[in-house]
């Protein structure tokens, strides 16, 4: 079936921080979709055809679906847990909650709700940490597959410094991960991500096992956490006294490279930043989480200057919103506190094509262009009375995007298309 989606189309082919001509904006635009892919994008008058079903989203904006490159699916009932910094938050709220995912009925219900929350908020792809239980990965990917979503994820490998109910062993984590890769990786739109939780909860044997998996499957992403919180860093370095610094721990086990995603990456030394740039390792900024847990302020400008590829993510449930709009709002404020800035065009690039680059998927998602997957979000910059009032005084596209970035949330998401199918109402 051929579908023509009409509205104001905005898509980025480059980073507005780097080049002036970074995006395409069509005031009366349309996206022609066939078999889950974009086949053409252009002016409505040129693309209209009798055999296409038309979906009219004027006067709203049509963008590539948001991409969330760091989120924890078993934390849907941890979000908004009061008053703690990272390490006690993990022990007191997070690990006990993740233990409940041993129950496959619970995991299945939460996985469906998780995917629906993503879609409600305009996010079409996420890279998710599951729990330690392989069944939680089955639940996550089954829910994503049922909705047609391009989902990345993996079971956390964790064999120490947590309650027993969420621990595996080095060997078990290797065997379970191996079996999950065989079952899921490359099936439809599913990508398996090798997922050692972080150095505190992995013995050297387990990080070595993760390194072996990475060597055996060089095409797979690796996701973990790096330098989020000062107490975390101290404890980590005490566990790995031979390492030069936090990043060096992962380096020693072969866990760096262009497919490696380092959540948080806040308190880094010059050496670590240079090594991330040299290896192509990605830094993922999680602003709502970093403010909520009091972790610190991400140095976007410093990492950019050094040539580190970055992404921006929710980190639910340390993060406090599924909305990438609210995430960009908080990212703006984090950079303000750093004396840096985040112009709206740059912010929307970051949450779409920028995150696709971070995930190494920018040949398929993150843009509206022929051959790309038809994952789209439709945004209404007058979604609430307060937004409509502000919109009366708005003159440029950049102003409209900034209004969405600061005041927008799921109410501003009119529709979310996954592989060409409207999903918001269904979610």
Footprint on this chain of Zn ion (rule: CB under 5 A): 263, 315
Terminal alpha carbon distance of the chain: 22
CB atoms within 10 A of CB 284: 26
Report if residue 236 touches ligand GUN, rule: CB under 6 A: no
Report if residue 121 touches ligand GUN, rule: CB under 6 A: no
Whether the bond into 317 is cis, omega within 30 of 0: yes
Q: Which of 57, 60, 72, 121 binds ligand GUN (CB under 6 A)?
A: 72
Token representation of residue 253: 């086990």
What is the closest distance, in whole angstroms, from the C-beta atom of residue 129 to ligand GUN in the complex? 7
Q: Which of 315, 380, 410, 415 binds ligand GUN (CB under 6 A)?
A: 315
Cβ neighbors of 424 (< 8 A, separation 6 or more) are 119, 120, 413, 414, 415, 416
The DSSP output letter for 94 is I
Nearer to Zn ion, 69 or 420 (CB): 69
Q: CA 355 from chain center: how many Å?
A: 7
- Asked whether 292 and 318 are in contact (CB, 8 A), the reply is yes
Report if residue 136 touches ligand GUN, rule: CB under 6 A: no
Nearer to ligand GUN, 40 or 165 (CB): 165
With CB cut-offs between 5 and 8 Å by kind, which of ligand GUN, Zn ion, none does residue 366 bind? none
Q: Where are the alpha helices (DSSP H) in 202-353?
A: 204-216, 230-239, 246-252, 270-279, 287-292, 300-306, 324-337, 344-349
Report if residue 289 touches ligand GUN, rule: CB under 6 A: yes
- Asked whether 193 and 221 are in contact (CB, 8 A), the reply is yes
Report if residue 198 touches ligand GUN, rule: CB under 6 A: yes
With CB cut-offs between 5 and 8 Å by kind, which of Zn ion, ligand GUN, none does residue 355 bind? none
Nearer to ligand GUN, 191 or 314 (CB): 314
With CB cut-offs between 5 and 8 Å by kind, which of ligand GUN, Zn ion, none does residue 228 bind? ligand GUN
Nearer to ligand GUN, 35 or 88 (CB): 88
Report if residue 318 touches ligand GUN, rule: CB under 6 A: yes
With CB cut-offs between 5 and 8 Å by kind, which of ligand GUN, Zn ion, none does residue 135 bind? none
CB atoms within 10 A of CB 231: 13
What is the closest distance, in whole angstroms, from the C-beta atom of residue 389 to ligand GUN in the complex? 36
- Interface characters, 78-107, with ligand GUN (x: CB under 6 A): --------x---x---x-------------
Cβ neighbors of 296 (< 8 A, separation 6 or more) are 228, 229, 230, 266, 267, 290
Instruction: With CB under 6 A as the rule, give the number of residues binding ligand GUN.
Output: 11
Helix (H) or strand (E) holding 191: strand 190-192
> SS3 of 264, please?
strand
For binding to ligand GUN (CB under 6 A), which residues are involved?
72, 86, 90, 94, 197-198, 225, 228, 289, 315, 318
């Amino acid at each position: 079936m051929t579908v023509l989606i009409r509205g104001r189309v905005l898509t980025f082919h480059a980073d507005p921080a780097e080049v002036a001509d970074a995006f395409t904006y069509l005031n009366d635009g349309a996206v022609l979709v066939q078999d889950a892919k974009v086949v053409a994008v252009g002016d409505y008058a040129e693309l209209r055809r009798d055999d296409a079903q038309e979906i009219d989203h004027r006067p709203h904006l049509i963008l590539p679906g948001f991409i969330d490159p760091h989120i924890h699916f078993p934390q849907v009932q941890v979000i908004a847990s009061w008053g703690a910094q990272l390490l006690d938050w993990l022990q007191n709220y997070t690990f006990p909650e993740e233990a409940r995912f041993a129950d496959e009925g619970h995991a299945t219900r939460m996985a469906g709700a998780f995917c629906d929350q993503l879609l409600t908020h305009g996010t079409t792809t996420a890279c998710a940490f599951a729990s330690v239980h392989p069944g939680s990965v089955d639940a996550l990917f089954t829910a994503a597959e049922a909705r047609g979503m391009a989902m990345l994820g993996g079971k956390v490998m964790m064999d120490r410094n947590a309650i027993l109910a969420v621990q595996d062993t080095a060997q078990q984590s290797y065997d379970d991960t191996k079996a999950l890769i065989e079952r899921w990786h490359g099936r439809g739109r599913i990508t398996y991500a090798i997922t050692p939780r972080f150095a505190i909860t992995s013995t050297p044997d387990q990080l070595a096992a993760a390194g072996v998996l990475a060597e055996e499957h060089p095409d797979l992403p690796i996701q973990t956490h790096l330098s989020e919180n000062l107490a975390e860093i101290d404890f980590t370095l005490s566990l790995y006294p031979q390492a030069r610094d936090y990043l060096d721990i992962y380096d020693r086990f072969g866990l760096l490279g262009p497919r490696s995603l380092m959540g948080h990456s806040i308190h880094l030394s010059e050496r670590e930043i240079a090594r991330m740039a040299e290896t192509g390792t990605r830094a993922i900024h999680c602003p709502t989480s970093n403010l909520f847990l009091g972790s610190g302020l991400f140095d976007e400008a410093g990492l950019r200057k050094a040539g580190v590829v970055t992404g921006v993510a929710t980190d639910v449930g340390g993060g406090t919103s599924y909305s990438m709009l609210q995430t960009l709002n908080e990212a703006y404020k984090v950079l303000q506190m750093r004396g840096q800035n985040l112009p709206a065009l740059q912010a929307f690039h970051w949450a779409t094509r920028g995150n696709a680059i971070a995930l190494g998927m920018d040949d398929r998602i993150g843009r509206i262009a022929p051959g790309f997957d038809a994952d789209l979000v439709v945004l209404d910059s007058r979604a609430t009375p307060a937004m409509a009032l502000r919109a009366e005084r708005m003159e440029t596209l950049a102003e409209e995007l900034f209004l969405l970035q600061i005041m927008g949330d799921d109410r501003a998401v009119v529709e979310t298309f996954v592989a060409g199918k409207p999903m918001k109402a269904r979610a």
